[in-house]
Amino acid sequence: MKHFIIITALLNLIAGSLTAQTTAAIRKKEFNIEKSGLAIQGYDPVAYFTGKAKEGNEKITASYNGLLYRFASVENQKIFNATPEKYEPQYGGWCAYAMGAKGEKVEVDPETFKIINGKLYLFYNKFFNNTLKAWNKDEARLKTNADINWKKIIP
């Protein structure tokens, strides 16, 4: 009986570990996060709403929906904790332009962003390709398409 309990406990421990790993893998597929679960490459989600992207401090963090966010100040952390859904980047933190143009999940430059109707949108900006510029030329159509495409990824 004692061996049965030990074996059962070990199997539950293994199953729990696999479930956590599977959940992390699923979150990585859906959301643009680092292996550690860090969102927005460590940038402060509240700072964007002041008009400037700022890197967060690794000692000032909060978790929301299984993602880890960093903040430039304790004040920003408190603001986030009051209404975290307001500060989450759209489309899981993937490039808004790519989501609208092709329904693709593309990495972003966390310093290339736009606030639209109180929501944070992030964009790819590397190798002379700033997708925010293309987004601004056709924002209404791209945003509509991105909303539709994102619902196909996250029903």
What's the mean per-residue pLDDT of the chain?
86
Q: How far apart (Å, rounded) are the C-alpha atoms in residues 105 and 17?
A: 27
For residue 29, the model assigns a pLDDT of 59
Each residue of 81-136: pLDDT tens digit? 999 999 999 999 999 999 999 999 999 999 999 999 999 999 999 988 999 999 99
Percent of the chain with pLDDT over 90: 72
Return the DSSP state at 104: -
Quick check: is 114 in a domain? Answer: yes
Quick one: 42 and 102 in the same domain? no
In whole angstroms, give the CA distance from residue 97 to residue 79. 28
pLDDT at residue 54 tops 90: yes
Buried b (16+ CB within 10 A) or exposed e, 105-139: bbebbbebbbeeeebbbbbbbeeeebbbebbeeeb
> Same structural domain for residues 37 and 83?
yes
Confidence band, pLDDT 50/70/90 cuts, at residue 67: very high
- Spell out where the chain has E strands: 57-64, 67-71, 109-116, 119-123, 125-126, 129-130
Nearest to 99 by CA among 32, 148, 33: 148
Residue 50 has which token pair? 């002041």
pLDDT of residue 154: 81
Give the whole-angstrom CA distance, residue 119 versus residue 87. Answer: 7
Q: Where are the alpha helices (DSSP H) in 88-138?
A: 96-102, 131-137
In a domain, 7, yes or no: no
Cα–Cα distances (Å) from 125 to 76, 97, 99, 132, 136, in that order, read 26, 11, 14, 8, 14
What is the domain count for the chain? 2
Say if residue 104 is in the same domain as residue 68.
no
Claim to verify: residue 83 and residue 94 sit in the same structural domain: no
Q: Is residue 27 included in any domain, yes or no?
A: no
Q: Which of 10-19, 54-63, 79-88 has the lowest mean pLDDT?
A: 10-19
